[in-house]
Amino acid sequence: MSAAAVVAGWDNFYVIVGSAASGLTGLTFVVVALAADANMARLPGLKIFVSPTVIHFSSALWIALLAALPHPTRLSLGLSMLVSGLVGALYTLRTMIRMRRMDRNDYVPVLEDWLWNGALPEGSYLLLAVGGTLTGASPSLAGYLIGLAALLLLFIGIHNAWDLAVWILAERPSRRRKMEAASEEQRRTGAEQTRTGG
């Protein structure tokens, strides 16, 4: 039983998804560079949200690559997708645990964060795992589930990268004002200590 029945006719789809995922991964690094330029790279919450975004783009690319590989059987394709889906689901669960444990003084995740960084990716990875299990029994349905999982991960990554970029640009002025105020306070404290000889 060839794996071609699962991915037949999906060649162009996976070329588009894979190309978009790889290009958008690069753009995510631009967002991270913006954060570093804004002296925000050390914010603990930033890592919790940037890494999963890169992982979702990379997963969409990975799915496209797996679909393009010449698998000898449906079983090998199915196992590849099943394992990838389960690993992604475990990673997303880890992300949700990290979101839950975030210092509430840094950032408090809102419903949208839980949806786009937790529920939707978790569902997408589980969809991929289900698609992997169905490659033998229902190759056509499996193909659609795997394709849907790849597309959802791509869209989730796009949303999350945009959300990060907007947040960084919105936080940049207030962060800069806080840094300037802290610097001014340090200068005043230093000047007072110099005057008092202490």
Q: Give the percent of the chain with pLDDT over 70.
A: 85
What local confidence, expressed as pLDDT, does residue 174 receive?
A: 61
What local confidence, expressed as pLDDT, does residue 178 receive?
A: 62
Per-residue pLDDT averaged across 33-56, rounded?
A: 76
Residue 145 or residue 26, greater confidence: 145
| Integer Cα distance of 192 and 198 in angstroms | 8
Place of tokens 């004002």: 177
pLDDT band for 197, please (50, 70, 90 cuts): low
Tell me how far apart the 2 most distant CA atoms of the chain are, in Å. Answer: 86
Asked whether the beta carbons of 166 and 180 are under 8 A apart, the reply is no
Closest C-alpha among 165, 163, 129, 167 to residue 148:
129
**CA Rg value for the chain:** 22
pLDDT band for 172, please (50, 70, 90 cuts): low
Per-residue pLDDT averaged across 35-46, rounded?
A: 64
Residue 85 has pLDDT above 60, yes or no: yes
**108: helix, strand or coil:** coil
Residue 162 has pLDDT above 60, yes or no: yes
Query: Dihedral angle at the C-alpha atoms of 133, 134, 140, 144, nearest 10 degrees?
Result: -50
CB atoms within 10 A of CB 142: 25
Q: Please, what is the average pLDDT of the chain?
A: 86
What local confidence, expressed as pLDDT, does residue 187 receive?
A: 75
Rounded (10°) angle between helices 139-196 and 11-37: 10
Closest C-alpha among 130, 128, 129 to residue 152:
128
pLDDT band for 184, please (50, 70, 90 cuts): confident
Per-residue pLDDT averaged across 154-183, rounded?
A: 77
| Integer Cα distance of 153 and 145 in angstroms | 12
In this predicted model, what pLDDT tens digit does every residue of 92-111 receive, in sequence order? Answer: 999 999 999 988 777 789 99
Q: What is the pTM of this model?
A: 0.82
Token digits for 26? 């690069």
Indicate the helix (H) or strand (E) that contains 178.
helix 139-196
Per-residue pLDDT averaged across 147-169, rounded?
A: 91
Residue 118 has pLDDT above 60, yes or no: yes
The listed range with the strongest mean pLDDT (26-30, 182-186, 188-192) is 26-30
pLDDT band for 154, please (50, 70, 90 cuts): very high
